[in-house]
Amino acid sequence: MNYCEKIHYTILAAKPADFSEMVDELIARLPVNEVIFRLAFFGTPGSNEEYVSRRILLREKIRRYYKDCEPALSYVSQPPLDAPLVVEVHSYVPDALDRITFRHYQDIPYVLLENAMGRFLFAGGFHGDVLHFGIEQQAVDSFRLLGEVLRKEGFPWNSIIRQWNYIERITAFDGANQHYQAFNNVRSTFYAKTEWRNGYPAATGIGANLGGILIDVDAAVFTSPEAFATPIDNKLQVAAHAYSNQVLEEANQTKTTPKFERAKSMTFGDRKLIYISGTAAIRGEESLKGVGLERQLRITMENIAELIQDARLETLRVYLKNRSDYEKAVKGMEAYGLRIPISYMWADVCREELLIEIEGIAIR
């Protein structure tokens, strides 16, 4: 089977209960006949102290359950809008040509897949000290840990195909420094360690109510001419890495652009998997302001359609700035008749005027 046929995406939601009980319920429902590459849990801790304790409890439970086959793991402090705790599962059905290994770096689990097409890394949970350091220092520490794993396993920075960046109170300021701009400046510094001749990763930079900085990645080093990555532009939008200073905030007197592509695909023979970056109601480089949730949702989905063309959506994640827009957003998404896993999160988007952001994965 082709990689695109073997990779699966599932969303599971827990019933209301104690946090530990909800984790146990979700673990009991995880796929048992597939190899789990990534588990991303989304919940609502009450403080950063509780966030850290829950993250530790979650890691211990997953470690006991999977033992030597522990997947990449992250706990995102974003309130799900349809359940108290949600987990997104990236799983895989290997064949005889696939070699899968599970490893750790400084207590961070990650997974390696090797086959005739290349080497693939599934890693996450890269974070700094949320209790003692600010956003900029946490970003430095998170990227440092990520870089050490990449170097250890022989993946250059430019092998990152997809990156998820969760940023506590993304549009807030520490003094004169906006959180998102500070993160972008740090990302630019680390990305400058390599040449990005084939485009930056697909990425999402999204708010979290707690949890500081958290980074997850998928990376690939291809070894077959039939397998390769391709950056995807949207003719309706300016590339994020080409934004003008007019749409950037200052942080430490610098304004580096967000280094990501609107989407990025991985081709495997006649199949293609497309990572859709966090997408919003932006045309050119300007947000659509004052048009309401329904209009922003429609423009966002038009932007996604432009990116994926005739590909089939596999899963979507919808971020809403206002909790009160949840039912309206569900109704708007149902109009597309997608019948795919969709999760809804309450999260700040990177610009104050944006009400919704959507990311996802598609296969052609």
SS3 string, 168-233, reads: ECCCCEECCEEHHHHHHHHHHHHHCCCCCCCCCCEEEEEEECCCCEEEEEEEEEECCCCEEEEEEC
pLDDT, residue 244, reads: 62
* Residue 67 DSSP symbol: G
For 275, counting Cβ atoms within 10 Å of its Cβ (0-12 exposed, 13-18 middle, 19+ buried), the class is buried
Question: b/e for 234-272, b at 16 or more Cβ within 10 A?
Answer: beebbbbbebeeebbbebeeebbbbbbbbbbbbbbeeeb
Bridge partner residues of 88 (DSSP): 11, 40
pLDDT, residue 138, reads: 96
pLDDT, residue 234, reads: 86
pTM to 2 decimal places:
0.94
For the chain, the farthest-separated pair of C-alpha atoms sits apart, in whole angstroms, at 55
pLDDT, residue 249, reads: 55
| Paired tokens of 171 | 């549009």
Residues 127 and 90: their CA atoms lie apart, in Å, by 20
Bridge partner residues of 35 (DSSP): 92
pLDDT, residue 239, reads: 67
| Paired tokens of 327 | 């039912």
Q: Tokens 């980074």 label which residue?
A: 215
Mean pLDDT by 10 residues, the chain (364 residues): 95 98 98 97 97 98 97 98 98 97 97 98 96 94 98 98 97 88 94 95 96 98 98 79 58 73 97 96 74 92 95 98 97 97 94 91 97
**Which is nearest to 259 in space by CA: 178, 200, 192, 214?**
200
